[in-house]
Every structure is written in structure tokens, then in C-alpha cells.
Amino acid sequence: MTRVVISGYYGFANAGDEAMLAAIVGSLKDIIPDVSITVITGNCRMTRENHNVQAVHRLNFFAIAAAIRRCDILISGGGSLLQDVTSARSLYYYLWIMKIALFFKKPVMLYAQGIGPVRGAKARRAVRDVLQRVAVIGVRDADSKAELAAMAAKAAAEEAARRASSYTPSSVGQQTGTSSSGSGSSGSSSGNAGSSGNSGGWSASGMNYAVPGSCPEGSSYCYGHNTGNTVGGAAYPARQCTLWAYLRRSQLSLPVGSYMGNGAQWAATARGLGYYVNNTPHVGAAMVFSQGQSVGGHWTADWQYGHVAVVERVNADGSVLISEGGTGFSTFPAWETIANAGNYQYVHY
């Protein structure tokens, strides 16, 4: 016998939620004739009579834990359960149920879920941490899919920060030098300490700038020029190199625009906005690969879109460690070391 526990906003005579429960129960009974279903509900009698299932009250926490411990799978049913607009308390309630299942090593499935909005930073971390461990996620609309993608990207950015913590900004993140000849530099450092827009007060002159920088995430004006940031990173497709470059630069408090274009276009777009651009790598810089350009001899940038990455470390031999996005990689972000770093353009600040 297969034992299934279903969690959701059931037992409150809400027609939509009750219809969703009926659909889940009917599908399970069609697929698994001997299935035993227990529903977590606000009205045990109503749920038992209407759906011919077992029921435990949503506030009987010991009974919920016992049912989950005995089950083979937990299904978190449809509806907008994972959101903190109506109530942060209900969000943590549904996360708690999933965490109980995960504690007992039971697979968790989200069925036709509406994800978000999740506005609080703590709440977003809590949702992300749980959803990273569930077995199957099914969402009901494009907005929910986008919300999940944003959470996954944020988690990847934090992982990048952890992995990049082997360097210190004071020893590696600040460099002094001149741009290579023929670099196509913007010709202006813009944004010395005290200039309007450099809200953090860090100095920036040529290649001498600090990482993390002084441009808060989402800023439209930093280092003495417009950043081009108007809608955040919403314009960049999920898992693409451009989305990763936007997220990582934002995390490092370096300026980045919302419409920098395809990877190959970032240097030209940045110059047009007043960014400092040259051929010298620096931690935090966006590393730009032209269409069809070799990526360190490992592979070739897309012949139509090019590629963009972020410099995480400048090595003693002149090579650079980069983090990058892209649907062709098995992880988001991916990491690799690139030699001949002077062959590429870098967007600084």
C-alpha cells in the first residue's frame, strides 16, 4: 500500500482549493488503486465526507508529524501557499510541513503551486532552502516559474560568493595598472570619491577600485554615470550568462544595467553609458567575449550572441578564474580558468 499525505488550504469550503484536492485525490486513485490518502485540513469531517480520505487537523502538529512519518510521499497541493503577502505565518506553516517530511527523508512534491510573491528577505531564504531539497516542483503559471528562477539564481550568487571567499578584496580586488594599448577604454574613470552618485564613498581611479564596490543593488546612478539599471535583472533570461553577470555584479555592489544586450554587446553598451572599459582584468569585472571568440581555448562563444562572465580571481600567472551562466552548463554558475586574459574586454565601473 502506498501512503500519501496531502497538504494545502483544505477544509475551509473554498471552492477552488476543494476542486484542486478532488483532482489530486482522483488522479492518485486512478494511478494507484490501493493508495491510502491522508489530508491535512481545517475540517476533518468535511474532508473525510467530501473526498473519502483520512484526515488530520492542520493544528494537530503531533498527528501531522506521525502521518508524515508513516507516509511514502508528501504532496503540497495547489494554490498560492508559498507567499507572504496575506500572511507570513501561513508561509512558515507550509514550509514547516515540508521540513517535517524532509526530516523523515520522505520525498516532497509541489503540485500546481503558485509561488510568491515572497517579499521578505528572510522568507525568501526560507522558501529557497526548502525548495532546493524537494523532489518535484510543479507550478501553475509563468510568474511562479520566474519567481523560482530568481530564487535559484540568488542561491547561485551566494554560492559564488562563498567559493570566491578565498580571495580578499584588499589583496586581490584592488589593482593598479594601465589599460593595454588598443583596449578601447572609455577614457574616463568617472566616480572618484565624493563625486555625485558614488554613494559608498570608495575611490575609483583607473584600475584602482575596490571590490565590493560602492553601488547598491539596483542603483541607476553610480561612479559618476548612469548605470542603465531601470528594471533590475528582469529582462535577462533564466540561467543565461547575462542574468548571471547581472546578479553577480549586483552582489559585488558594482554597477550593471538592465539592458546591456547579449553577452558580446556588454562592452559597447557599457562604454555608451560611461563605464570604464579596457582589456585589463580585475576582480568583479564583467569579462566580454565576442561572437565566435575562443573562451580560453576550451570552447567557442556563441556565434550570434557572444558571452559574458565575471572575474572572480586574477591569478599570479595572469590567468583569471571566472564564474558564468549559460544553459549549456550543468551548474549555475559554472567556473573555469581562462588564460591569455588580455585578449578580452572588461567592464569595470
Q: Model confidence over 186-224: pLDDT tens digits?
A: 333 333 333 333 333 345 888 999 999 999 988 999 999
Residue whose C-alpha is closest to residue 333's, from 167, 163, 157: 157
Higher pLDDT, 200 or 109: 109
User: Mean pLDDT, the chain, as a whole number?
Assistant: 84
pLDDT value of residue 254: 95
pLDDT value of residue 160: 56
Which range, 174-183, 272-281, 331-340, is most confident? 272-281
Candidate from 12-16, 163-167, 191-195, 223-227 with smallest mean pLDDT: 191-195
pLDDT value of residue 157: 58
Q: What is the full DSSP assignment across 91-156?
A: HHHHHHHHHHHHHTT--EEEEEEEE-----HHHHHHHHHHHTT-SEEEESSHHHHHHHHHHHHHHH
What count of other Cβ atoms lies within 10 Å of the Cβ of residue 318? 11
pLDDT value of residue 195: 33
Residues in CB range of 174: below 8 A, 6 or more apart: 208, 209, 210, 211
Q: Are 84 and 114 in contact (CB under 8 A)?
A: no
Kindly state the average pLDDT of the residues 47-62: 96
Q: What is the pLDDT of residues 293-329, one digit of tens each?
A: 999 899 999 999 999 999 999 999 999 999 999 988 8
pTM of the model: 0.50
pLDDT value of residue 138: 86
Kindly state the average pLDDT of the residues 78-90: 85
The residue type of 60 is N
pLDDT value of residue 203: 59
Kindly state the average pLDDT of the residues 280-288: 97
> Using omega within 30 degrees of 0 as the cis cutoff, is the peptide bond preceding 216 cis?
no
Q: Which long-range contacts (CB under 8 A, 24 or more apart) does 300-309 make?
A: 301/263, 301/264, 302/263, 304/262, 305/262, 305/263, 305/264, 306/262, 306/263, 306/264, 306/265, 307/241, 307/263, 307/264, 308/241, 308/242, 308/245, 308/260, 308/263, 308/264, 308/266, 309/241, 309/244, 309/245
What count of other Cβ atoms lies within 10 Å of the Cβ of residue 60? 13
pLDDT value of residue 137: 86
In sequence order, what are the beta bridge partners of 278?
346
pLDDT value of residue 186: 34
| Residue carrying C-alpha cell 567556473 | 335
Distance (Å, rounded) from C-alpha 187 to C-alpha 226?
A: 16
Q: How confident is the model at residue 107 (pLDDT cuts 50, 70, 90)?
A: very high
pLDDT value of residue 235: 86
Is pLDDT above 70 for 153? no
pLDDT value of residue 76: 94
CB-count burial class (<10 Å; 0-12, 13-18, 19+) for 231: exposed
Is pLDDT above 60 for 171? no
Is pLDDT above 70 for 103? yes
Distance (Å, rounded) from C-alpha 199 to C-alpha 207?
A: 19
Q: Are 198 and 204 in contact (CB under 8 A)?
A: yes
Q: What is the pLDDT of residues 224-275, one digit of tens each?
A: 999 999 988 888 888 899 999 999 999 999 999 999 999 999 999 999 999 9
Q: Are 5 and 77 in contact (CB under 8 A)?
A: no
Task: Show the cell assigned to 68.
Answer: 508524515
Positive or negative: CA dihedral 319, 322, 326, 331: positive
Kindly state the average pLDDT of the residues 25-32: 93
Q: How confident is the model at residue 163 (pLDDT cuts 50, 70, 90)?
A: low
Q: Which long-range contacts (CB under 8 A, 24 or more apart) does 331-335 make?
A: 331/156, 332/152, 332/153, 332/156, 332/239, 332/244, 333/156, 333/159, 333/160, 333/244, 333/248, 335/163
pLDDT more than 70, % of the chain: 85
pLDDT value of residue 54: 97
Higher pLDDT, 199 or 152: 152
